Amino acid sequence: MATQSADFQTLSRRYTADKGFRAFIQKGMSGYYKKRDLNKANFQDWQGARDLAAEIKYEAINHLDKYLLEFEEKITARGAKVFWAQNAEAARDYILKVARENNVQTIIKSKTMTSEEIHLNDALEERGFGVFESDLGEYIVQLRKEAPFHLVFPAMHLTRGQISDLFQKELGSEATDEPEKLTMIARDVMRRKYCEADMGISGTNFAVAETGMISITENEGNARLTTSLPKIHVALLGIEKVLPKLEDLSLFLPMLATAGAGQTMTCYNTMYAGPRQPGEPDGPEQLHIVLLDNRRTELLADAEQRDSLGCIRCGACLNVCPIFKNVGGYSYGTTYGGPIGSVITPHLRGLKDWKHLSAASSLCGACTEACPVKIDLHHHLLQNRRNGAKSSPNPLEKISFGGFSLMMGHPALYRLAVIFGRIFQPLQSVVNGTILDPLRAWTGSRKFPTLAPQSFHQQWKKDRGGKK
Amino acid sequence: MRISLFIPCFVDQLYPNVAWSCVRVLEGLGHEVLFPESQSCCGQPPFNSGYWDESRSAARVTMKAFRDAEVVVGPSGSCVTMIKVFYPDLFKGEPDELEARELAAKTHEFSSFLVNVLGVTDVGAKFDGKVTFHDGCHGLRELGIKNEPRALLANVKGLELIEMCEAETCCGFGGTFAVKYAPISTAMDEVKCASILETGADTVVSNDSSCLMQIRGMLEKEKSNVRSLHLAEILASK
């Protein structure tokens, strides 16, 4: 049975019960909102920028065949190797093969959610490779043996005190609650790892078809070191990351920075066009590009929800989502949390097991309003609900709504039903809030409304008699 | 104008005063108000849960009830959204798609109808109190209603509007979501109610009774003395 659904219920219940934790997440977000709004105002026309971004993504997603081949051709011409991975296993196997063939011992990684999607770290560690995350937040959750809490802020759920405790335990450092000192502790460890590592694995924010380049954007400089010091660089990306033209980045880079972290631009923006070229003094000897499908083409085949492939993984929809802010990142049980995760996970991992995430929404639409590329997120949740009800209906719901539609479809039955409602309401008040109360899901935390002595229908008939 | 009133089923059963308030405001402006009695429910609960066939049965009753209406006005951003935004999706490819689109075009949310169709922002209402306004999500994001209720409230004598920080944050109702995921819905309600209380307002107002049911449910449970009223009830106050 749907254990994912039961897990979500259990975890969301646990997290929402922790008011201190909810307040901590809300507070963390409030700083982001201020900076985001400030930087949105720096755009001449933020709504116009969203329209343009959506158009560019529409063009790219609808012509992936053309742009991916163009990208491959251009970057291969400069010596990169492109591997087309149909699924997670194929991607993992390829990366393992490259590591084995080159006698790799130690691997350093910069932030990549796509590697979380294919569970790459587990696969590498199981086969004896040492794997180190170099992004500070990712490093922290790796030390805690946790997954990232949020697409962009992997360790936002932790206090400085918790991080200090972790570093004391795992790294033998001194206690401190100064962010700078905590960063220096991690940096000391990391600098040594960059020099030791013989393979660097990165994600990719954008691929540019026109020039055959990949673009990586980051704030810590760790991705630059990860991709340039080791002799092999593996860049992992979903096939939807390709953009047609280089100039598209002039829109997408500031947009990603603004929507993702409330920044004008991310601190480091780097373009990679191939491995070390003849005559160049540094850079990796090999560049491997792993293009991942992993059921993205199935999403592509869904004309209604295809736009969700336009996602630039900025996390803006999570940041405004009242569900995410109250249940946190770990309740979802998915790589991609929040609204975008609820939309795409049923496509990537199966509707039957993941449709509950689409039901766990008030459909408020804050996500759609925030999305910089205008993905129609909350309407896609409705479509997932419809698809789920069709392919695997919940028997109780099916019967209830069948009864509902019978009643509402026949005005006379509706009038009869509300008479019964008025008879049963006093009975409910006897058991109100107790375990016998059929309305307990509501009455546990909220007072149930009382039926008016007479409906408007009845009052109107009496007052205005016959007038239609 | 001959205005056909669309009263959502739960307003019909729980809050008839909201419906009467609409009647009084519209008649006060010199319009004729009709109430087609065969209406029941717009079909949103099964629609939102994914049961579109079941939703269409209810929706067809609504479409039939308003077939001859000149203009349809309802006091709920959410139920009006169902007709105005979702009927065209729900009936796409169905034989009555055109009828769904026609009804969508002539249906309006109450505050939007007053301000954008009738061009009225002062209905001559009087209400003494400090009020904070909750933007229902459907009205706000599906219908783009933000300034209309505020323009109307600004002309109510004796009323002081104090905006809450979380005015645009969902109250957590979301139909069946409120019971299917009660802990999350409750957490959202707590955020909303805290923001209401923070303003020091004595009344919370919205243009959606479903949000108010959720908000009121918690305020009453917590024995708060903050009242909740539908915008129409404020506008009908003299």
Question: In a mutagenesis test of the B interface, which of A406, A457, A458, A463 is the best target, namely the one with the most B β-carbons within 10 Å?
Answer: A457
Q: Distance between CA A396 and CA A399 in Å, rounded?
A: 5
Residues 359-388 of A with CB under 8 A from B: 359-366, 368-369, 382, 385-388
Question: In a mutagenesis test of the B interface, which of A342, A362, A387, A442 is the best target, namely the one with the most B β-carbons within 10 Å?
Answer: A362
* Shortest CA gap B128–chain A (Å): 26
Query: Which residues of B are less than 8 Å from A368 in CB distance?
Result: 141
Strand partners, A62: none
Tell me, what's the ipTM? 0.96
- Does residue B109 sit in the same domain as residue B137? no
- Structure confidence at residue A416 as a pLDDT band (50, 70, 90): confident
Residue B139: closest CA among chain A residues belongs to which residue? A364
* Shortest CA gap B91–chain A (Å): 14
Low-confidence stretches of chain B (pLDDT beneath 50)? none
pLDDT of the residue at A1:
45
- Does residue B186 sit in the same domain as residue B219? yes
> From 3.30.870.10, 1.10.760.10, 3.40.50.10420, 3.30.70.20, which CATH number describes the A43-294 domain?
3.40.50.10420
Q: Domain containing B227 — which CATH number?
A: 3.40.50.11810
Length of chain A: 468
Residues 41-100 of B with CB under 8 A from A: 41, 43, 45-55, 57-58, 60-61
- Does residue B105 sit in the same domain as residue B165? no
Tens digits of residue pLDDT in A164-223: 999 999 999 999 999 999 999 999 999 999 999 999 999 999 999 999 999 999 999 999
- Does residue B44 sit in the same domain as residue B129? no
- Does residue B131 sit in the same domain as residue B231? yes
Check CB contact under 8 Å for A449 and B52: no
pLDDT at A468 over 60: no
Tens digits of residue pLDDT in A345-363: 999 999 999 999 999 999 9
Reading the block at residue A26, the tokens are 């809300």
Check CB contact under 8 Å for B177 and A361: yes
Reading the block at residue A137, the tokens are 């937040």
Tens digits of residue pLDDT in A10-63: 999 999 999 999 999 999 999 999 999 999 999 999 999 999 999 999 999 999
pLDDT of the residue at A417:
81
Residue owning tokens 């308030």: B21
Which of B61, B174, B217 lies nearest to residue A408, judging by beta carbons?
A: B61
Residues 198-227 of B with CB under 8 A from A: 213-214, 216-218, 220-221
Residues 115-174 of B with CB under 8 A from A: 137-138, 140-142, 168-170, 172-174
- Does residue B160 sit in the same domain as residue B128? yes
- Does residue B130 sit in the same domain as residue B228? yes
Q: Distance between CA A306 and CA B49 in Å, rounded?
A: 22
| CA distance from start to end of chain B | 23
Residue owning tokens 């059963």: B13
Tens digits of residue pLDDT in A226-276: 999 999 999 999 999 999 999 999 999 999 999 999 999 999 999 999 999
- Does residue B129 sit in the same domain as residue B41? no
- Does residue B110 sit in the same domain as residue B129? no
Domain of residue B128: give its range.
Answer: 123-235
pLDDT at A438 over 90: no
A183: Cβ–Cβ under 8 A, 6 or more apart, which residues?
A: A136
The domain tally of chain B equals 2
Which of A402, A442, A459 lies nearest to residue B54, judging by beta carbons?
A: A402
- Select from B76, B96, B116 the last residue of a domain: B116
Q: According to the 3-state scheme, what is the secondary structure of chain A? A: CCHHHHHHHHHHHHHHHCHHHHHHHHHHHHHHHHHHHHHHCCCCCHHHHHHHHHHHHHHHHHCHHHHHHHHHHHHHHCCCEEEEECCHHHHHHHHHHHHHHCCCCEEEECCCHHHHHCCHHHHHHHCCCEEEECCHHHHHHHHCCCCCCCCCCCCCCCCHHHHHHHHHHHHCCCCCCCHHHHHHHHHHHHHHHHHHCCEEEECCCEEECCCCEEEEEECCCHHHHHHHCCCEEEEEEEHHHEECCHHHHHHHHHHHHHHHHCCCCCCEEEEECCCCCCCCCCCCCEEEEEEECCCHHHHHCCCCCHHHHHCCCCCHHHHHCHHHHHHCHHHCCCCCCHHHHHHHHHHHHCHHHHCHHHHCCCCCCHHHHHCCCCCCHHHHHHHHHHHHHHHCCCHHHHHHHHHHHHHHHCHHHHHHHHHHHHHHHHHHHHHCCCCCCCCHHHHCCCCCCCCCCCCHHHHHHHHHCCCC
Q: Distance between CA A161 and CA A170 in Å, rounded?
A: 14
Check CB contact under 8 Å for A362 and B52: no
pLDDT of the residue at A414:
82
- Does residue B7 sit in the same domain as residue B112? yes
Q: Distance between CA B46 and CA B84 in Å, rounded?
A: 17
Which of A22, A407, A468 lies nearest to residue B37, judging by beta carbons?
A: A468
pLDDT of the residue at A435:
74
Q: Distance between CA B160 and CA A456 in Å, rounded?
A: 30
Q: Could you tell me the residue ranges of all domains in chain A?
A: 1-41+311-392, 43-294, 395-464
Burial of A442: CB neighbours in 10 Å, binned 0-12, 13-18, 19+: buried
* H helix or E strand, kind and range, residue B206: strand B203-206
- Does residue B30 sit in the same domain as residue B129? no
CA A239 to chain centroid: 16
Check CB contact under 8 Å for A404 and B54: yes
Tens digits of residue pLDDT in B48-73: 999 999 999 999 999 999 999 999 99
Which of B55, B61, B179 lies nearest to residue A441, judging by beta carbons?
A: B179
- Select from B67, B97, B116 the last residue of a domain: B116
pLDDT at A406 over 90: no
- Structure confidence at residue A2 as a pLDDT band (50, 70, 90): low
Tens digits of residue pLDDT in A96-136: 999 999 999 999 999 999 999 999 999 999 999 999 999 99
Question: In a mutagenesis test of the B interface, which of A422, A446, A455 is the best target, namely the one with the most B β-carbons within 10 Å?
Answer: A446
- Does residue B169 sit in the same domain as residue B96? no
